[in-house]
């Protein structure tokens, strides 16, 4: 809920306006005890709503921070990719180009699978996420 902070601020302003009005009425001795109790009940309800709105906003902010940290971590990891033989490479290991290009997912390829040798003498590496097959020359892999 992206407007929780705005809602919380608006409710807090309403509560402060109410306090100001009650304070003025009390100064002029215009309030009965029952009216004062009603205003305090209303004020308490508004402050509970403020607390709820700010708590929701805090949870949303924590979720967004986690998402930002994860996106930053992935971007930092992918920044050191190099491209060769149709896949991405980092520290001598091949990474799935489909996963990275489509969703910025860093998926290390599995392999080589020695029982799947292509006609061109390449070894097949696979992606566990999208099941892609990537024939790579054996010399390419450290
Ligand atoms: Zn993949």
CA of residue 130 relative to chain centroid, distance: 23
Same domain for 71 and 30: yes
- Tell how far the Cα of 60 is from the centroid of ligand 1, in angstroms: 30
Tally of domains within the chain: 2
Cα dihedral 127, 133, 136, 142, rounded to 10, equals 20
Q: pLDDT (tens digit, 9 = 90+) per residue, 11-33?
A: 899 999 989 998 898 888 888 98
Residue-range definition of the domain harbouring residue 53: 5-78
What backbone torsions phi and psi does residue 58 show, to the nearest 5 degrees?
Answer: -65, -45
SS3 state at 82: strand
- Tell how far the Cα of 113 is from the centroid of ligand 1, in angstroms: 16
Q: What integer pLDDT is reported at residue 131 of this predicted model? A: 94
Instruction: Please give all residues whose CB falls under 5 A of ion ligand 1, grouped by chain where several chains appear.
Output: 96, 98-99, 107, 127, 129-130
Boundary of a domain, candidates 25, 51, 78? 78
- Tell how far the Cα of 121 is from the centroid of ligand 1, in angstroms: 23
In this predicted structure, the answer to whether residue 2 has a pLDDT above a threshold of 60 is no
Boundary of a domain, candidates 44, 59, 78? 78
In this predicted structure, the answer to whether residue 60 has a pLDDT above a threshold of 60 is yes
Percent of the chain with pLDDT over 70: 95
Q: pLDDT (tens digit, 9 = 90+) per residue, 109-127?
A: 998 887 777 777 888 999 9
- 9-23 as b/e, with b when 16 or more CB fall inside 10 Å? eebbeebeeeeeebe
In this predicted structure, the answer to whether residue 107 has a pLDDT above a threshold of 90 is yes
């Amino acid at each position: 809920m992206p407007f929780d902070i705005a809602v919380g601020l608006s409710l807090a302003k309403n509560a402060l306006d109410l306090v100001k009005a009650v304070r003025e009425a009390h100064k002029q001795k215009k309030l009965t005890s029952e009216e004062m109790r009603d205003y305090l009940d209303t004020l308490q309800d508004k402050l509970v709503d403020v607390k709820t709105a700010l708590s929701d906003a805090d949870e949303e902010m924590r979720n967004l921070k986690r998402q930002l940290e994860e996106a930053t971590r992935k971007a930092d990891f992918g920044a050191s990719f190099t491209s060769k033989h149709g896949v991405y490479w980092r520290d001598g290991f091949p990474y799935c180009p489909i996963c990275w290009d489509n969703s910025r997912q860093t998926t290390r390829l599995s392999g080589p699978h020695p029982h799947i040798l292509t006609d061109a003498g390449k070894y097949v590496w696979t992606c566990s996420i999208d099941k892609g097959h990537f024939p790579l020359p054996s010399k390419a892999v450290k």
